[in-house]
Chain A
Amino acid sequence: MQEDFPYDATPNLLSHLRADQYPVTRSKVSWKDRVLRFGDASTEKRWHGVLASLAIVGLITILGFRIETIIRSSNFAVLYMLAVIFSALRWGRRPAILCAVTGALSFTFFFVPPYRSFAVTDIWYLITLIGLLTVGLVISMLTVAAREDAKLARRREAHTAALYSFTESLASGNKFDQILDSVARHFPEVFRRPIVVLLSDAERVTVRFRSAELVFDECENEIASWVFENGEEAGCGTKTFSDSVIRYRPLKTGQGIVGVMGFQATSSKELLPPDQRELLGIFMNQTALAITRADLAQKAKRAEVLQEADKLQKALLNSVSHNLRTPLASVLGVLNTILEDRALLDAPTQESLLKTAQDEARRLDWLVQNLLDMTRLEGGAVRVKTEPCDVHDVVGAALHQLGEAAQSHPIAVTIAPDLPLVPMDNVLIVQVLVNVLDNALKYSPGDVPIDVEARLESGQLGIRVLDRGRGIPEQELERVFEKFFRGALPGAPKGAGLGLSICKGFVEAHNGRILAKRRAGGGTEFAFFLPMEAKRE
């Protein structure tokens, strides 16, 4: 048999559960409890009770002498009985018994003839005396039983409150850190000792939380590892590694051992009472379950990420196979036709065929560029190299890059005259503008102008591209920035659905944000905002 858990000198659980934290406990304290509470059994209080009981018996005796002439002395037995009841309620069993015995003796000695003697001659006095003793004893026993019951109930209530508070705190989070935080707050408070928590980490246990006052060295680590491997308690108070001051218990669930908890004993003499041991068991079970839950949640999250990556890969493959092969097919087709049937084709036909091939090849290049950008973004390889940039310059460079398309379509640029230089990565933001403008150009009919506006908006640079295209349905506004998203409307221009998601990636790499809105009066408004302070690397 293992010895009991050493427990230190605070047996009363309630005394350290703050009333404001457990309002349930406080509101249920009845008058009875309040009276009974005086009886809490500490050594000091017990002596106090004994002395007070003797004092009361003395007082009644003196009072008896005073009123002996008015009241018949045989009635004094009732007064002594009252004293016994009071003493039992207030100080518990022993003072009550003492009170009953001394009361009976005093009554016999002083008020039962023959006076100043313990001899009892009158049979009625004898009956009174026996009644006094019996009532005293019975009352004291009943009182004590009630008191113990109340005490137990109070403790249970406190346990329940502590457990409730702990499980509630555990349930509030699914992450390891949150669980460790709950454990770190509740265990030392309820069990009043420094703790250490070790969780399994790839076949080993590592310390995840340690009370500041607990010393944990290499040797202790070895004990914890032993507990983790064997699933048995060890350390202080057990047969294994008993010279440690820490008692280790495994955190077990149905699936196995998830970790180890250590409790440092402050005094090895006092033991954890059985009900607290039970509570500790429940606490540890809850902890183990919560840790298992967190572990599962983490695994689920990981699986989700994998699944997401898988989905992306599939979409990428689909997109690549379709969007790369279509233009490639027309390029190859044109080249084959010209190589084989040159003699049959007149010059204008050849020219138009070659023009088609050129356009398609360009589209292919654009797509490859987007795929590369996307890969760089996904791989976290995009480095933002901010330098103060002139917005005129950025817009100009974007228009220049768009070339023919931007030349033939009216684009009205409005840049606030007082706009300062803005820190940004010139290349990336030019790319963002090119993609957004390209999008606007694709969806804008013939000669309806596209507006580009840039100004300071609440401490940020805001750049807006507004078109009068057919607009984006309300429910798709958010989704246009998703990878491979293509509008549901039929007859949309070809594309892989990468351009805008790259924009989002680039803008967010600047700590900025990008959004799409329906423009009043028809069309779409794309706006992105960049902070005026350079992003810190």
Chain B
Amino acid sequence: MSDLGPRVLIVDDEAGIRRFLRASLEAHRYLIHEAVTGEDALQVVPAFRPDLILLDLGLPGVGGKQVTSCLREWTQTPIIILSVQGDESAKIEALDAGADDYLTKPFGQGELLARIRAALRRVGQQDSGPVFVTGDLTVDLTGRAVRLGDEEVQLTPTEYSLLKAFVVHANKLLTHRQLVREVWGGAHYEDAQHLLRVNISNLRRKLETDPTRPHYIITEPGVGYRLRTEPRVSAAPSNA
């Protein structure tokens, strides 16, 4: 295996998990490097130059959140957090600190690969032009126009900035705090949270055919929202 595929750094202190991740990813032609601790990871990243980092949240010593904030000081390499259920607040902290996405253990290989692909695509997509298209939804960022199929959708300025934040970070999981910061700037987080939910709800009503089973704007309970761009991830849910 030479420099064929994207380079992925796996940071986890569990040998079993590292072995499973290495096996599944190498089978899909990713180039793997392993780190056991946070300190390891911080040392390895400049040398290995990964395209993506899979970072366990429950590391001994320097934790996942600290590793994320250290890395974010100098690199935008996508970071996917690996966590177990119950880590809710730690997970949100890591996401607020700049992690791109998370996976809850145990997860299936299909879901893992889908998340990695989405994160890598986002990096390549950054200059993809002023018009964003997914499914029936078209967002023209220069003309501030939103269309669903052939029909123009009328959005309030707030709804539009919210949608724009989603489009700019398409497929990325955005925490409530990040969205509030993006749309309302310095507004008080607690107050703006209510506004966020109302606007998400309105946005869904205008964009989704069934707001209860949203196709575009997906809720991550207790964490945030993401704009889904590819057809539904085929993997079965891992923890339901």
| Chain A residues closer than 8 Å to B222, beta-carbon distance | 385, 425-427
B133 interface residue per 8 A CB criterion? no
Chain A, residue nearest B201 (CB)? A390
B219 interface residue per 8 A CB criterion? yes
Min Cβ gap B59→A in Å is: 21
A399 interface residue per 8 A CB criterion? yes
Contact B212 A392 (CB under 8 A): yes
Report the bound CA distance from A385 to B201 in whole Å: 20
B27 interface residue per 8 A CB criterion? no
Contact with A along B68-106 (1 / 0, CB 8 A): 000000000000000001101000000000000000001
Interface core residue of B88, B212, B239 (most chain A CB under 10 Å): B212
Contact B219 A421 (CB under 8 A): no
Contact A388 B213 (CB under 8 A): no
Contact B239 A369 (CB under 8 A): yes
Contact with B along A364-401 (1 / 0, CB 8 A): 01100100100000000000010111101111110111
Given B85, B212, B214, which contacts A413 in the complex, CB threshold below 8 Å?
B212
Contact B193 A387 (CB under 8 A): yes
| Chain B residues closer than 8 Å to A415, beta-carbon distance | 212
Contact A393 B200 (CB under 8 A): yes
A404 interface residue per 8 A CB criterion? yes
B236 interface residue per 8 A CB criterion? yes
| Chain B residues closer than 8 Å to A404, beta-carbon distance | 236-237
| Chain B residues closer than 8 Å to A79, beta-carbon distance | none
Report the bound CA distance from A272 to B219 in whole Å: 79
Report the bound CA distance from A438 to B239 in whole Å: 13
| Chain B residues closer than 8 Å to A403, beta-carbon distance | 236-237, 240
Report the bound CA distance from A418 to B44 in whole Å: 54
B204 interface residue per 8 A CB criterion? yes
| Chain A residues closer than 8 Å to B214, beta-carbon distance | 396
Contacts A388-B197, A392-B204, A427-B221; A365 near B239 (Cβ below 8 A) = yes
Contact B197 A393 (CB under 8 A): yes
Contact B201 A400 (CB under 8 A): no
A402 interface residue per 8 A CB criterion? yes
A430 interface residue per 8 A CB criterion? yes
Report the bound CA distance from A365 to B106 in whole Å: 8
B218 interface residue per 8 A CB criterion? yes
A133 interface residue per 8 A CB criterion? no
| Chain A residues closer than 8 Å to B201, beta-carbon distance | 390, 392-393, 421
Min Cβ gap A160→B in Å is: 65
Contacts A396-B214, A413-B212, A427-B221; A434 near B200 (Cβ below 8 A) = no
Contact B85 A369 (CB under 8 A): yes
Report the bound CA distance from A413 to B213 in whole Å: 10
| Chain A residues closer than 8 Å to B236, beta-carbon distance | 403-404
Chain B, residue nearest A372 (CB)? B86
Contacts A387-B193, A427-B221; A396 near B213 (Cβ below 8 A) = yes
B211 interface residue per 8 A CB criterion? yes
B194 interface residue per 8 A CB criterion? yes
| Chain A residues closer than 8 Å to B198, beta-carbon distance | 390, 421
| Chain B residues closer than 8 Å to A362, beta-carbon distance | 238
Given B106, B193, B204, B218, which contacts A400 in the complex, CB threshold below 8 Å?
B218
Report the bound CA distance from A397 to B210 in whole Å: 13
Task: Classify chain A's interface size.
Answer: 20 to 34
Min Cβ gap B158→A in Å is: 16
Contacting residues of chain B (168-220) with chain A, CB-CB under 8 angstroms: 193-194, 197-198, 200-201, 204, 210-214, 218-220
Contact with B along A418-438 (1 / 0, CB 8 A): 000100011100100010001
| Chain B residues closer than 8 Å to A388, beta-carbon distance | 193-194, 197
| Chain A residues closer than 8 Å to B106, beta-carbon distance | 361, 365
Interface of A is mostly: helix
Contact A396 B86 (CB under 8 A): no
Contact A397 B221 (CB under 8 A): yes
Contacts A372-B86, A396-B213, A397-B221; A390 near B197 (Cβ below 8 A) = yes
| Chain B residues closer than 8 Å to A366, beta-carbon distance | 239-240
Report the bound CA distance from A395 to B212 in whole Å: 6
Given A392, A400, A402, A438, which contacts B211 in the complex, CB threshold below 8 Å?
A392
Report the bound CA distance from A390 to B239 in whole Å: 23
Given B88, B197, B204, B212, which contacts A399 in the complex, CB threshold below 8 Å?
B212
Report the bound CA distance from A404 to B110 in whole Å: 14
Chain B, residue nearest A399 (CB)? B213
Report the bound CA distance from A474 to B85 in whole Å: 36
Contact B219 A397 (CB under 8 A): yes
Report the bound CA distance from A388 to B192 in whole Å: 11
Report the bound CA distance from A404 to B235 in whole Å: 9
Chain A, residue nearest B86 (CB)? A372
| Chain A residues closer than 8 Å to B239, beta-carbon distance | 365-366, 369, 401
Contact with A along B11-55 (1 / 0, CB 8 A): 000000000000000000000000000000000000000000000
Given A387, A390, A394, A402, which contacts B237 in the complex, CB threshold below 8 Å?
A402
Report the bound CA distance from A397 to B218 in whole Å: 8
Contact A396 B193 (CB under 8 A): no
Report the bound CA distance from A533 to B194 in whole Å: 14
| Chain B residues closer than 8 Å to A393, beta-carbon distance | 197, 200-201, 219
Contact A396 B219 (CB under 8 A): yes
Report the bound CA distance from A396 to B225 in whole Å: 12
Contact B240 A401 (CB under 8 A): yes
Contact A421 B240 (CB under 8 A): no
Contact with B along A496-514 (1 / 0, CB 8 A): 0000000000000000000
Contact with A along B104-117 (1 / 0, CB 8 A): 00100000000000
Chain B, residue nearest A396 (CB)? B212
Contact A389 B197 (CB under 8 A): yes
Contacts A392-B211, A396-B212, A396-B213; A401 near B237 (Cβ below 8 A) = yes
Report the bound CA distance from A362 to B107 in whole Å: 10
Report the bound CA distance from A366 to B193 in whole Å: 31
Leading 9 A-B pairs by shortest Cβ distance: A403-B237, A427-B222, A401-B240, A390-B201, A397-B221, A430-B221, A397-B219, A413-B212, A392-B211
Measuring CB to CB, which residues of chain A are less than 8 angstroms from any residue of chain B? 361-362, 365-366, 369, 372, 385, 387-390, 392-397, 399-405, 413, 415, 421, 425-427, 430, 434, 438
Q: A365-B238, A388-B194, A413-B212 are in contact. List 19 more A-B contacts (CB 8 A).
A: A366-B239, A366-B240, A387-B193, A390-B197, A390-B200, A392-B204, A392-B211, A392-B212, A393-B197, A393-B219, A397-B219, A397-B221, A401-B239, A403-B236, A413-B210, A415-B212, A421-B201, A425-B222, A427-B88
**A–B complex contacts, Cβ < 8 Å, 13 sampled:** A365-B239, A372-B86, A388-B197, A390-B197, A392-B211, A393-B200, A397-B219, A400-B218, A401-B239, A413-B212, A413-B213, A421-B201, A425-B222
